[in-house]
Amino acid sequence: MSAQLEIRDVSKAFGGVQAVARLSLEVPPGEILSVIGPNGAGKTTLLNMINGFYHPDRGRIALEGADITRHRPSQIAELGVARTFQNIALFKGMTVLDNLMLGRHVHMKSGVLASFAYWGLAQKEEVAHRRRVEDIIDFLKIQDLRRRPTGSLPYGLQKRVELGRALALDPKILLLDEPMGGMNQEEKEDMARFILDVNEEWGTTTILIEHDMGVVMDISDRVTVLDMGQKISSGSPDEVRSDPRVIKAYLGESRRA
């Protein structure tokens, strides 16, 4: 099967630090790919290049065959790439519902004047989007949180709402930056279940960065290991687990620590 997302020979440096070096990666549609590696391995830089926050110094990123290397983040979101953030990045003053409705932004077409008028197209559109958002609310079991400002929610629920906001884009590709970071075991299991369900129900390609190896090994179709900006291993969870280069990178990390 051909790749939905193709990253070819991509490099990115910040000052003298080579964050990502000549990295190539192909992600077929529907795959759950975990990117792991020690701190500073370039994982978040990779996600930031995929969604357009950073532009690579060299190399090419293609989504369904189309070059998106130099696209702006908003354009890449419109093409169907949604993401969450390592530190929760919900709009804090806004309700859960408004956060999710914002996720529908790329699908909304009516302009300022139409929305001021609020009837006809704008209203019909609003109803359709609201229905989709309600589906996601049901899916994530956050029905009783609709009107709550997100800043007031406990940490684990904020992470769940942030996933919901990304899902509201109806993404082809979901980028999750440490979706279980800082969670307790029960919350981690819930989140893992949601990620698997999303993948199963909508066939969403998912690329996630995660430190909890138990979770990574459980839910991933494939695991890619980065170290010092380079791919040192890639394969099924079992293959990666027994790869001596991976063990060395992680042991090296723990010796440094």
Partner 1 sequence: MVDWQFFALLLSNGVLIGLMYSLIALGFVLVYKATDAINFAQGEFVMIAGFLVAVALGAYGAPLWLAVALALAVMIAFGFGLERVMLRPLIGRPIVAVIMATIGLAAILRGFGPLMWGAETKPLPLPIPDEPIVWGPFFIPPIQLLGAGVSLLFLAIFGWFFLRSRQGIAMRAVADSQQVAMAMGVNVERYFALAWAMTGIVSALGGLIWGNLLGVDVHLALVGFKVFPVVILGGLDSIPGAIIGGLIVGIVENVAAGYIDPWVGGGTKDFAPYVLMILALMIRPYGIFGKQIIERV
Binding site for partner 1 (CB under 8 A): 51-53, 72-74, 77-78, 82-83, 85, 89, 91-94, 98, 101-106, 108, 110, 112, 115-116, 118, 126, 165, 169
Q: What are phi and psi of 46, to 5 degrees?
A: -60, -50
Which of 73/237 has CB closer to partner 1? 73
Write the CB contacts of 48 (distance below 8 Å, at least 6 apart in sequence): 54
CB of 101 vs partner 1, minimal distance in Å: 6
CB of 95 vs partner 1, minimal distance in Å: 10
CB of 207 vs partner 1, minimal distance in Å: 14
C-alpha atoms less than 13 angstroms from C-alpha of 101 in its C-beta half-sphere? 13
CB of 147 vs partner 1, minimal distance in Å: 13
CB of 14 vs partner 1, minimal distance in Å: 16
Which of 111/252 has CB closer to partner 1? 111
CB of 138 vs partner 1, minimal distance in Å: 21
C-alpha angle 236-241-243 in degrees, rounded to nearest 5 = 95
Which of 78/189 has CB closer to partner 1? 78
Which of 146/241 has CB closer to partner 1? 146
Which of 163/216 has CB closer to partner 1? 163
Which of 26/126 has CB closer to partner 1? 126
The CA distance from 47 to 177, in Å, is 8
C-alpha angle 82-87-88 in degrees, rounded to nearest 5 = 60
Strand ranges in 84-221 using DSSP code E only, listed in sequence order: 173-177, 205-209
The CA distance from 5 to 222, in Å, is 14
- Return contacts of 62-68, CB within 8 angstroms, 24+ apart: 62/5, 62/6, 62/8, 63/4, 63/5, 63/172, 63/173, 64/4, 64/172
